[in-house]
Amino acid sequence: MTADPRPARPTLLGQNQYGKAENRVVRVVRDGATHRIKDLNVSVALSGEMDAVHYSGSNANVLPTDTTKNTVFAFAKEHGIASAEAFGIHLARHFVTSQEQIHRARIRIEEYAWQRIGTTGHSFARGGQETPTTEVAYDGERFQVVSGLKDLVVLNSTDSEFWGYAKDPYTTLRETHDRILATEVTARWRFSWTGDPAGAEPPAWEESYEQVRGHLLDAFAGTYSLSLQQTLYAMGSRVIESHPGIDEVRLSLPNKHHFLVDLEPFGLKNENEVYHAADRPYGLIEGTVLRDGADARIPVTD
């Protein structure tokens, strides 16, 4: 007969669960030159015979939360991700059927949709989530109009490298010749139009926004990137070269790191398929691209 684990006090343990929250897993299926992406945020919560760990600290019935995290990544490789629902069913069934002390598993999943950019099979944008921005200044004589966007999330699942960089005793990053390149674009562009002379025809603002957004996406998708700085310059240059009414583009590109998950401990090979989408810290690349010879007397405000 199992001893009662409850301490002699006027309290009882109520509902409880534990697990690993917000496991960011990205699964890339490489069908030749055409890639498909499933990007999930998976939270696991388990409950069952957990009185002892709360009352006495005995971990005998506790499957570590780190194990639940590893299971998410391993299942992304072993079972693939046909849908968020199917993936959640695989996980929930596994935890309850493989651990006698686990009576219930709750899997919550957020899925992030990606839309293809242009004609490439490996370039994607997070659909419809960016926010347009506008800043207008007037000093009584001239206008300054700075349009922009933020929260435009884009990703290339290949055609990106990072190697040959400076190293010192604290450098641990491994060089790579094939990586995911992802960023969340914040861009601001300054129009040459100032309303001077009086009556000068202003640009078609909304049409310009769609054009600039398209140029940013095309340049991101079409650049074989050896660094995010190179991609930044290509994006800004594409806007300047394609839109004669814009004299300056400022870009802020956080590097949304995707790290290959080590699946070797589970006897699985990870051939650029399963990634951990890291939240922070992140590299932040910022820069300005200017039209050569343009009037730069009115800078974009910080």
The answer to the question of whether 162 is labelled as a binding residue is: yes
The answer to the question of whether 255 is labelled as a binding residue is: yes
For residue 20, indicate whether it is catalytic.
yes
Among 35, 38, 77, 257, the active-site one is 257
- Rounded to whole angstroms, how far apart are CA atoms 38 and 157? 12
Among 20, 122, 243, 256, the active-site one is 20
The radius of gyration of the chain's CA atoms, rounded to the nearest angstrom, is: 25
CB atoms within 10 A of CB 77: 19
The answer to the question of whether 65 is labelled as a binding residue is: yes
For residue 65, indicate whether it is catalytic.
yes
DSSP codes, 156-202: ESSSB-B-S----TT--PPPBSS--EEEEEEEEEEES--S-STTPPP
Among 65, 79, 94, 150, the active-site one is 65
Kindly state the tokens that stand for 211.
């054009």
By CB neighbour count within 10 A (0-12 exposed, 13-18 middle, 19+ buried), where does 283 fall?
exposed
The answer to the question of whether 179 is labelled as a binding residue is: yes
Is-contact 134 152, C-beta < 8 A? no
For residue 257, indicate whether it is catalytic.
yes
Annotated binding site for O2: 65
Annotated binding site for urate: 65-66, 162, 179, 229, 255
Annotated binding site for 5-hydroxyisourate: 65-66, 162, 179
Q: List, by residue number, the catalytic residues.
A: 20, 65, 257
Annotated binding site: 65-66, 162, 179, 229, 255
